[in-house]
Amino acid sequence: MIKKRWIIFIVLVLAITLPACTGNSPNNNSNDEISKEDSTNTYTNPDSDINNTGTITNVVYEDIKLTPGEVFNIYVKKYPNVKVNKLALDFDRGLYIYEVEGYDDTNKYELKIEPVDGEILKEEQKQRDDNDTEGEITIENVNKIQELMDKALKDAGNGYKVDEWELKFENGQSIFEIEVVDDNDHDIEYKYNINTMELIEKDQ
């Protein structure tokens, strides 16, 4: 009788202690996975039909290391016989991304470039059609971007920072457009003629 009681007691103790020892391990693994996933954002674009595999961390404007001239050179090195007609810094879904577009006689080519280390996040090639814009922006145009950014920020006043900008060929002119924003999300847009450095339009 005593032996049976001891056996029942041991079984009860084991039944209570075993679940307590093993219950936390699945949750710990889940938390590790969540913390790793939160540290990066994957840049995905459903419109891409060539490459869309880049992974980048969240970048604020102050973290950007590549200059517009360096981005321009990455593009022309990859497409040496192509005319560049657009260079932009886009703020896309919380991420800064450089976008460059150009064309030749038959096709147009687009690159999206990570602004910290220059990784190509997306490349796309499409056939040109009759409605596509012609014209070319040059490295001389690109080298004026920083001066025009400084000019816009000075005009906007204290508290403003660069949100995004675009250099493109439009209506026979090389046009630079920039948007600056303050901490209250009040934005001002400027449009300049990149060749003359003259202000064309200001919208606030």
Q: What is residue 1's predicted lDDT score, i.e. its pLDDT?
A: 46
Spell out a b/e string for 77-114, using b for 16 or more CB atoms within 10 Å of the CB, else e.
eebeebbbbbbbbbbeeebbbbbbbbbeeeebbbbbbb
- Identify the weakest region by mean pLDDT among 6-10, 14-18, 79-83, 92-96: 6-10
- Identify the weakest region by mean pLDDT among 19-23, 45-49, 148-152, 199-203: 45-49
196 versus 55: which is more confidently predicted?
Answer: 196
- Per-chain mean pLDDT for the chain: 81
- Identify the weakest region by mean pLDDT among 104-108, 111-115, 131-135: 131-135
Average confidence (pLDDT) over 76-90: 96
Average confidence (pLDDT) over 62-89: 96
Three-state SS for the chain is CHHHHHHHHHHHHHHHHHHHHHCCHHHHHHHHHHHHHHCCEECCCCCCCCCCCCEECCCCHHHCCCCHHHHHHHHHHHCCCCEEEEEEEEEECCEEEEEEEEECCCEEEEEEECCCCCCEEEEEEEECCCCCCCCCCCHHHHCCHHHHHHHHHHHHCCCCEEEEEEEEEECCEEEEEEEEECCCCCEEEEEEECCCCEEEEEEC
pLDDT of 21 strictly over 80: no
Average confidence (pLDDT) over 68-73: 97
